[in-house]
Amino acid sequence: MNAPALSKDRLPGPRRPSARMLRGGRAGRPAVAALVGAVVVLGLLGPWLAPYSPAETVGAPYAAPGTPYPLGTDDLGRDVLSRLLCGGPSVLLTTVGATVVTVALGTAAGLLAAFAGHRRPVAEGVVMRPFDALAALPPMLALLLVLTAVPDRLGIVLAACAAGTPLSARVVRAAALPVLRRPHVELAVARGERWFWILGHEVLPLIRTTVLADAGLRFVFSLYLVSAAGFLGVGVPGTDWGSLVHEALPGAALQPYALLAPLVLIAVLAVGVNLLSDAPARPAHEK
C-alpha cells in the first residue's frame, strides 16, 4: 500500500520563531541591560563603595559570609567584597579601551579592504595580508609576547588589538562588499565623491548593525584577555578580577564565595554584552 504523497503546502520548512518566543526575548533585554548596567556601575564606583581597603586584614582567614563581611574573607583575612569592588575599574576600563581601539581599527581596515577589492582586486591583498599574518598568532601567545615588552594595561590593549583586529576586519569587509555593489554607491563614485566620504556616508550606515554585533564579540574577547592576564599574574598587579580568581583557587573548598564572586561578574559582563549587541543585528520582523 503506497503512502500518500505530501503536497507542497505540507512540506516541512524552517521553523519561524513564535510570537511568544519573540515577546519573551524582547522582555528579557531590559533585565539583561539592567544587570549589565548594575555590574558596570558597581565596577566603576567600586573603590568609593568598598567598606575596607583591599589590602587591609579585617578578620580571620576564610571567614564565612555574614556581618560585616557579606562575601567573607580570603586567606589573609581581607574583605572579599572590598577587593572585588576595588578590582572593577581596571577590568572595565581596560576592556572598553581595548574594544574601542580594536573595533575602530578593524572597521577602518575592513572598509578600506572592501573598497580596494571592489575597485582593484589586487589592492585588497595589500590591506588584508598583514592582518592575516596577525590572525595566525594565537591570542594567548600574543598576550604573553606583548606583555613581555609592555608589562602594563597598555600591553593588554595592544595584545587585544593585535589578536582581535584581523577578525573584526574580516567581518566588516564581508558585510561591506555587497553594499559597495549597490546603485547608490556606484552613483556616488560616478559623481566623483572621495573614497572616505563614500565609506563613511554610503557604506558604514548600512552595516552598523554588523559592526555593533562585532563590537560585542570584541568586548567579550578583550574581557577574556584581561581576565587571563590577571589570572596569570602578568602585567596587571592589584585586585584585578582575574587575579582574584587565581588567589582564591587554593582555598576554594574553604571559601567558595571568594572564587565564585569574580567569576560571576565576568560571566554576567560577557554574556550580557553579547546578548545586547546581538539584538540590533536581528532583522526588523524578528524584533
pLDDT tens digits, one per residue of 108-145 = 999 988 888 777 776 777 778 888 888 888 888 888 88
| Domain of residue 128, CATH code | 1.10.3720.10
Give the phi and the psi of residue 78 in degrees, each rounded to 5: -90, 150
Report if residue 34 sits inside a domain: no
Amino acid at 260: L
186-205 pLDDT, tens digit each: 888 778 788 888 888 889 99
Instruction: For 190-244, write each residue's pLDDT tens digit.
Output: 787 888 888 888 899 999 999 999 999 999 999 999 999 888 887 666 678 999 9
Range of the domain at 83: 39-50+71-282
With respect to residue 22, please indicate whether it lies within any of the assigned structural domains. Answer: no
Q: Give the residue ranges of DSSP H helices in the chain.
A: 19-49, 80-86, 88-119, 121-135, 139-149, 153-180, 183-190, 195-198, 208-232, 241-248, 256-278
Domain-located, residue 11: no
Contact yes or no for 264/3 (Cβ under 8 A) = no
176-189, pLDDT tens digit by residue? 989 888 888 888 87
Q: Residue 15 carries which DSSP code?
A: P
What is the tally of structural domains in the chain? 1
Cell numbers that stand for 57 in this block: 586584614
Asked if pLDDT for residue 286 goes beyond 90, the answer is: no
Task: Answer whether residue 15 is part of any domain.
Answer: no
Pick the more confident residue, 71 or 6.
71
pLDDT at 18 over 60: no
Task: Give the other-Cβ count within 10 Å of 269's Cβ.
Answer: 23
Q: Is 80 inside any structural domain?
A: yes
Tally the residues of the chain. 287
Residue 28 lies in a domain: no
Instruction: Classify residue 6: in a domain, yes or no.
Output: no
Give the pLDDT of residue 16. Answer: 54
How many alpha carbons lie under 13 Å from residue 132 in its C-beta half-sphere? Answer: 7
> Does residue 157 form part of some domain?
yes
Pull the grid cell for residue 17.
520563531
For residue 211, the SS3 value is helix
Greatest CA separation for the chain: 84
Please report, to the nearest 10 degrees, the dihedral formed by the alpha carbons of residues 255, 261, 267, 273 taken in order: 180
Going 61 to 65 to 68 to 73, the CA torsion angle's sign is: positive
Query: Who's near 94: CB < 8 A, 6+ residues apart?
Result: 153, 156, 157, 222, 226, 236
What spatial distance separates the first Cα and last Cα of the chain, rounded to whole Å? Answer: 47
